[in-house]
Structure 1
């Protein structure tokens, strides 16, 4: 197999696996801040208990996330040496900023978050929780900035020629606030909030269906449902903003996302469909002229299509980009519908009587994860054949000495190790969920324990 394909597969595999965990950490961080904040405000120990429980799960996701993220830094040097030299000044500054502004903050408060219960005051522990959450948010900022610069590069100059050429920063803030960074960052943050919220919804829906920890789970479910509803609706606006920047700065990517081939003409907005690249046709369910209306408010507005670009400058896997993009959108709409439906029953006062709905939430935990992955696939595959859009082709970014056998061997090795890590993560997560939010020396709200407490009180 071609070394470029193998190197891309290896990086896609490692980053896709890694990207399971940071969104969970960011999302759970927000929920933990809300839970602890409610405890400080009300003094209700139930909120403290749920915050303690989710802190343990946060620690698990954080640890696996750190372990799986280190591998990618080595891949930059082994498989993508030309890329590393080309963007080293840009990427290096962003990673340095992450270390200074994000990792230092996050790691500085992490010990207090995990081991400070009953050792520091509630207010100090809340500050530590807030610090860890903000650190994870800042980490997402700098990683997204680095990736967004590759999508819409600004604030740089090219020095050197040929294989020695590289990009240098001439305006740091122009690099940070490149045309796509803010919109993409908001999209990433909201996707992370949804991942964390739906994990909390899933676990506490399971407890409610089993009749366990009912008082705590009702409160936790409502907190997570509020977060999920707000941010699933917000994702509509950030998604639209992202589509606008793609239309302006990466029109070939947008054309691939909607299967639009005509060089300059009205473009349909597809709900679902199938793209035949060879025949240059897209069939499916669509709103005629809908893409032009979405971008310009006019059904007859022309939209740049794939045929406006040389074939070597178009995304190679048009149908894959189309499918990943539409799957992401479909999941986003499903999350909106599910959360609004739950809010309707909450308003009616019958939310926890809808066992079928609780079962939906148990399994819906996978949906934000899939949407995050599909969105990343669409964005990165749609950028091809460029690794830095318009400046450096993916085929030119490879290391010149690495062989296909070497990449294949390491890909197999990473696959085995990551499969083991995933198994370990699911085992430990399941173990913590089964144990529940109460330690052995604490009394929870299960009927049998309440009964024993009443008997003991009567004696």
Structure 2
């Protein structure tokens, strides 16, 4: 492989690994805030125990997300210096806001929340975890603002061979961002909800701490179902935005080679090995037209016509992404999310009115469902980035032009192997900690100390 392929592999490995933790942190921080709110309002000690139990899992996941996230920005300078010079004026503002505003907000108040138990007044302590939840969402917004510029560049002009920022408001209100952000947040809620369901299922199958895990599972089940409904709506909006801004990505997602009106939705397609044409298709008539245009009679442009248009517009070259990855990534994203929601719906019915199913396989299936939202996020992220190829910034800069010109392939290969081994070790640690503390009993209820007994030494 050449340096471009190696740099892409390294960025893909580290980014997908980092993104395993981000949605869980966003979703779990909100759910912990909701559980603690229930404790503050009702005084029920079971909610206090649940808050501390789920809060410990949140802290493990947050710490791992921070460690793996730091590498992402360094990679811009290591392997993608040409890209960094080109978009640095654009990326600097949202990334700075993410660090100085969102990350400082969430990390500062997370520290206060950790050490503020029984030291801060209840409502002030509760405010800390809500600010953490808000901070994680803000962090996602600013990161997605930078990524959305890569999908649909706005608020800039070209000068001296680089993109210069002219309208920061346009960057923060990019129509791709406004569609992507809610879709990402709702998907993160699904991850958090299913985590509650899976861990609670392990304990409920053993009839342990029912006062803690019955309400936790109910909250997780309803969160998963509501979030999936919102994902469906936001995904419909995002699909239409994607068709408008990157029609090749939508065509590749459906392996639609020829322009059609109306266009069918492909349930299953077998294509040639190079992904240039279909061999067999199983389709739903007119559905793709609705997804892409909002009309069952809408016209959807195909890969071949778009390839010809892009050659006329941008010059000679192959502007098609790798069709098998985009096609199956899109379907696996939807399928994993839908299966998680289906399991949640089944468990909501089977555990109604305090019932606990006796079938061991059902509990095991529910526990293993924790992987489904994680897989859905990964497939969705891969589809989003691979579907944009061969552009690193759509219509402005090709991926091959963004690598560091002075970094040889051997150096990239060495760092890729090093990061992959390091991240593999971190994965073992993360999984071990989550399993250990997920299986542990919730902490016993402790009476808070009187605030008058506290003293501060200077």
TM (norm. structure 1) is 0.91
Question: In structure 2, what is the Cα distance between the partners aligned to 1:347 and 1:206?
Answer: 17
Find the counterpart in structure 1 of residue 44 from structure 2: 44
State the shift of 1:265 in Å: 4.4
Query: Larger deviation: 351-360 or 251-260?
Result: 351-360
Find the counterpart in structure 1 of residue 77 from structure 2: 77
Q: Which runs of 5+ in 2 are unaligned?
A: 309-316, 448-458
Q: Which runs of 5+ in 1 are unaligned?
A: 444-459
Find the counterpart in structure 1 of residue 311 from structure 2: none
Question: In structure 2, what is the Cα distance between the partners aligned to 1:209 and 1:67?
Answer: 34
Question: Structure 1 278/49 Cα, relative in aligned 2: closer, same or farther at 3 Å?
Answer: closer
**Which of the residues 277, 281, 287 maps onto 1:280?**
277
2:403 aligned with 1:398, yes or no?
Answer: yes
Question: In structure 2, what is the Cα distance between the partners aligned to 1:296 and 1:394?
Answer: 29
Question: In structure 1, what is the Cα distance between the partners aligned to 2:252 and 2:302?
Answer: 8
Question: In structure 2, what is the Cα distance between the partners aligned to 1:349 and 1:216?
Answer: 13
Find the counterpart in structure 2 of residue 308 from structure 1: 305
Matches of residues 239-388 of structure 1 in structure 2 within 5 Å?
Answer: 239-263=235-259, 265-276=261-272, 277=274, 279-281=276-278, 283-296=280-293, 298-310=295-307, 312-347=317-352, 350=355, 352=357, 356-388=361-393
Question: In structure 2, what is the Cα distance between the partners aligned to 1:54 and 1:381?
Answer: 35
Q: Which has the higher contact order (CA 8 A, sep 6+)?
A: 2
Question: Structure 1 127/144 Cα, relative in aligned 2: closer, same or farther at 3 Å?
Answer: same
2:403 aligned with 1:410, yes or no?
Answer: no
Question: Structure 1 55/349 Cα, relative in aligned 2: closer, same or farther at 3 Å?
Answer: closer
1:259-295 deviations in Å (ceiling 9; x for gaps): 0011454432012323334551152321133211333
State the shift of 1:394 in Å: 0.2
Question: Structure 1 297/120 Cα, relative in aligned 2: closer, same or farther at 3 Å?
Answer: closer
State the shift of 1:340 in Å: 2.4
Question: In structure 2, what is the Cα distance between the partners aligned to 1:138 and 1:282?
Answer: 45
Count of aligned residue pairs for this structure pair: 438
2:159 aligned with 1:159, yes or no?
Answer: yes
Matches of residues 166-185 of structure 1 in structure 2 within 5 Å?
Answer: 166-185=162-181
Question: Structure 1 51/375 Cα, relative in aligned 2: closer, same or farther at 3 Å?
Answer: same
Alignment check: 8 A CA contact 1:306 1:314 kept: no
State the shift of 1:101 in Å: 2.4
1:212-244 deviations in Å (ceiling 9; x for gaps): 112211011111111111101111011111110
Find the counterpart in structure 1 of residue 453 from structure 2: none
State the shift of 1:56 in Å: 1.1
State the shift of 1:355 in Å: 5.0
Find the counterpart in structure 1 of residue 147 from structure 2: 147
* SS across alignment from 1:314: coil
Question: In structure 2, what is the Cα distance between the partners aligned to 1:359 and 1:232?
Answer: 22
Question: Structure 1 124/353 Cα, relative in aligned 2: closer, same or farther at 3 Å?
Answer: farther
2:205 aligned with 1:200, yes or no?
Answer: no
2:424 aligned with 1:424, yes or no?
Answer: no
1:138-159 deviations in Å (ceiling 9; x for gaps): 1000001110111011111111
* SS across alignment from 2:175: coil
Question: In structure 2, what is the Cα distance between the partners aligned to 1:200 and 1:193?
Answer: 11
* SS across alignment from 2:208: coil
Question: In structure 1, what is the Cα distance between the partners aligned to 2:145 and 2:233?
Answer: 20
* SS across alignment from 2:157: strand
* SS across alignment from 2:271: strand
Alignment check: 8 A CA contact 2:199 2:439 kept: no
Question: Structure 1 136/342 Cα, relative in aligned 2: closer, same or farther at 3 Å?
Answer: same
Alignment check: 8 A CA contact 1:83 1:397 kept: yes
* SS across alignment from 1:185: helix
Question: In structure 1, what is the Cα distance between the partners aligned to 2:279 and 2:114?
Answer: 52
Alignment check: 8 A CA contact 2:275 2:324 kept: no
Matches of residues 51-200 of structure 1 in structure 2 within 5 Å?
Answer: 51-160=51-160, 165-200=161-196
1:6-50 deviations in Å (ceiling 9; x for gaps): 100000000011111111111110110110010011110100111
Find the counterpart in structure 1 of residue 313 from structure 2: none
Question: In structure 1, what is the Cα distance between the partners aligned to 2:67 and 2:279?
Answer: 42
Alignment check: 8 A CA contact 2:144 2:181 kept: yes
State the shift of 1:185 in Å: 0.5
Question: In structure 2, what is the Cα distance between the partners aligned to 1:389 and 1:334?
Answer: 33
Alignment check: 8 A CA contact 1:56 1:114 kept: no
Query: Larger deviation: 366-375 or 65-74?
Result: 65-74
**Root-mean-square deviation (CA), in Å?**
1.9
State the shift of 1:298 in Å: 4.5
Question: Structure 1 341/326 Cα, relative in aligned 2: closer, same or farther at 3 Å?
Answer: same
State the shift of 1:175 in Å: 1.1
State the shift of 1:421 in Å: 0.6
Question: In structure 1, what is the Cα distance between the partners aligned to 2:195 and 2:93?
Answer: 34
2:233 aligned with 1:237, yes or no?
Answer: yes
